[in-house]
Amino acid sequence: MAQWHALASCTADGTALCASKREPLLVQDRMSCQGKPSSFRLLGARVSGFRGCAVGLTNSRILPRAPLTKGTRAALSDLGTQEVTSMDKEKKQGLRGKLNKVVLAYSGGLDTSVIVPWLRENYGCEVVCFTADVGQGIKELEGLEEKAKASGACQLVVKDLKEEFVKDFIYPCLRAGAIYEREYLLGTSMARPVIAKAMVDVAKEVGADAVAHGCTGKGNDQVRFELTFFALNPQLNVVAPWREWDIQGREDAIEYAKKHNVPVPVTKKSIYSRDRNLWHLSHEGDILEDPANEPKKDMYMISVDPEEAPNQPEYVEIGIVSGLPVSVNGKELSPASLLSELNEIGGRHGIGRIDLVENRLVGMKSRGVYETPGGTILFKAVRVLETLTLDRETMQVKDSLALKYAELVYAGRWFDPLREAMDAFMEKITSTTTGSVTLKLYKGNVTATSKTSPFSLYRQDISSFESGEIYDQADAGGFIRLYGLPMRVRAMLERGL
C-alpha cells in the first residue's frame, strides 16, 4: 500500500508551500515543487479547495488531509466551493445537538452514505469517513472517494489493516483455540475491535470529538465497536444513528437520500447480509432465517461445493512456531499473506463451511452460514501439534479457558484486562508448540497425516507395547488400586462392608 510522505503545507490564505523550501507550489493551477528530485516531482493534481490544510501524496495524487500515521491513505481531492459553503453552515447547531467533527465507519453502501448527511443535519458537524481494509476485497474499496464526496463528507481516510488484523487479533485467538459455541471461528468478532481501534486513532489525528457507526440496535457489532471506543478513549462521543433516527428500512433510507441529494448506490441488492474479511465470509438473512431451509448452492462465494471439489486430495504442510503459523509448504509468509494462501488452497477443496444457530449477545438466536477455509486449516494444524507438545493437565486447562476467551471476544471485550491476562497465559503455555503438521484436504474434509516437533512429549520407546526400561507394566497394578480407591470405598459403603 502507498505510504504518506509530508510534501507541503498551506499558508493562512491557502497558498500551498513546498515543505523543503517554503516556496509556492501553485504553478498554472497545478502543484509543483523546486526541491530535490529525489524528494519531490511534478504532482499531477489540482490544488485543494480547502484552506489551511496539509497536503499529501499517494500514488501521485494530491489529497487534503490532517496529519496521518504510517499506513494511512487519505482521499477526497477537491470538494469544491459547494462543500466549503455547506461546511460553513455546519457550524450551526444541529437538530439533536452540536458536535465538531465525527469519524464515521464507512463502507460506501446505502446505510453509511445516508448517515453522512444525517450526522451533518442532526449534529451540525463535519464528517470524516473512515474505511478499514481488513481483506474484504478490492471491489468493496472501489469508488469510495466519489461516494463519500457525494454524501457530503469532508474527508475520506482508508487504512490497510490486514497485517495488523491477522497478526494482533486473529493469531492470538488461534493460539488460544478460541471457538464460540463449538463451531464459530469469530471472524466478525475479531474484525470489529481492530476497526474501532483504528477509528480512535483517526479521531485523534483529525481532531474529531465523536465517532459513529452504522450498526443496528439488534446485533452484536454495536457492542463490539462501542466497548472498544470506551476502552481506548472514554472521552469520545459515540453516535449510533440506527438507535436514534426514524429510518426503518431500505426504502426509508432511499427516500432520505433523495431528499438530501445523496446518490443512491446503484448496486444490485443482495438477498443476504454478508460480512467479509481476510478470515471469513458470513451469510445471514433471506431463507437462512428459517433453520429448516438448506442454504442454496449459489450463495457460497469463496469455497467450492465439496461435491464438486477435486477428486484428488491435496497435501499442505503448515510450519508453526510457539503456537503461531509461519510457513506453508516450507515457504515463510507474512501473517496476511499466509492466510490468503490458505484461503485459496482450502477454498478449492470446499474446506471450512459451517451452518450454525448462535446465541447473540443481545439475547436472541440467529442463524449464520460461514466460509472460513484458511482459518479451518490453521485451527486443525495448531490443535494437532498441541497433541505432541501439551501434557494432559495443561491441555485441559487451556481448553477450558479457551471457552471464556472466545466468549470475551464474541462479546466485544477485546481490550478487557481479563482477555489480556488470559492471552499472556496462552502465550506462555504454547511457547513449545513448535513444529510442522501435514494435512490432507479432500472434499470438505481436513485430516492430519503427519506431525513433528522438537519439543514433542511423545516417546516411542515409552509408548511402545514392547517392554521398556522407563515404564514397567507391573507398576500399573498399584496405580489402579490407588486411583480407584474412592470408587471402591463407596461401593463398600453401599454394600455394608
Same structural domain, 306 and 332:
yes
Spatial neighbors of 372 by CB under 8 A, at least 6 apart, are: 185, 187, 279, 280, 281, 352, 354
The catalytic site residues sit at: 111, 192, 221, 273
Domain for residue 382, yes or no? yes
* Structure-block grid coordinates of residue 81: 466551493
* CA 143 centroid distance within chain: 21
Determine if the pTM surpasses 0.75. yes
Distance CA 275, CA 222 (A): 14
Domain for residue 92, yes or no? no
pLDDT in tens, 460-480: 888 887 766 788 888 999 999
pLDDT in tens, 200-215: 999 999 999 999 999 9
- Domain end call among 230, 249, 269: 269
Domain for residue 130, yes or no? yes
Separation in Å, CA 85 to CA 82, 89, 91, 119, 157: 5, 7, 11, 17, 22
Residue 7: the pLDDT is 36
* Structure-block grid coordinates of residue 382: 495448531
- CATH code assigned at 451: 3.90.1260.10
Distance CA 76, CA 116 (A): 15
Same structural domain, 256 and 300:
no
Residue 157: the pLDDT is 97
Same structural domain, 328 and 260:
no
State the angle between helix axes of 144-151 and 110-123 in degrees (0 to 180), rounded to the nearest 10. 30
Hunting for cell 455394608 — which residue is that?
496
Domain for residue 233, yes or no? yes
Distance CA 70, CA 413 (A): 27
The boundaries of the domain holding residue 485 are 463-494
Same structural domain, 344 and 221:
no
Same structural domain, 136 and 154:
yes
Domain for residue 182, yes or no? no
- Domain end call among 269, 302, 321: 269
Distance CA 248, CA 213 (A): 16
Same structural domain, 330 and 210:
no
Hunting for cell 438473512 — which residue is that?
285
- CATH code assigned at 127: 3.40.50.620
Of the candidates 76, 85, 73, 91, the residue with the CA atom closest to the CA atom of residue 46? 76
Identify the H or E element spanning 111. helix 110-123
Domain count, the chain: 3
- Domain end call among 269, 288, 310: 269
Domain for residue 17, yes or no? no
Residue 42: the pLDDT is 28
Laid out side by side, the sheet with 210-212 consists of 72-75, 155-160, 126-133, 101-105, 210-212, 237-239
The total number of residues written for the chain in this structure: 497
Same structural domain, 346 and 442:
yes
With a cut of 70, which residues of the chain have pLDDT below it? 1-91, 265-269, 467-468
Residue 433: the pLDDT is 98
pLDDT in tens, 86-145: 445 445 788 889 999 999 999 999 999 999 999 999 999 999 999 999 999 998 899 999
pLDDT in tens, 324-375: 999 999 999 999 999 999 999 999 999 999 999 999 999 999 999 999 999 9
- Each residue of 205-240: b (16+ CB within 10 Å) or e? bbebebbbbbbeeebbbbbbbbbbbebbeeebbebb
Strands (E), 266-374: 273-276, 281-284, 314-321, 324-328, 331-332, 353-359, 365-371
Same structural domain, 365 and 216:
no
Spatial neighbors of 382 by CB under 8 A, at least 6 apart, are: 174, 175, 177, 320, 323, 325, 433
Same structural domain, 319 and 248:
no
Domain for residue 403, yes or no? no
Same structural domain, 264 and 309:
no
Same structural domain, 280 and 355:
yes
Same structural domain, 301 and 254:
no
* Structure-block grid coordinates of residue 71: 499506513
User: Beta-carbon neighbour count of residue 335 at 10 Å?
Assistant: 20
Domain for residue 405, yes or no? no
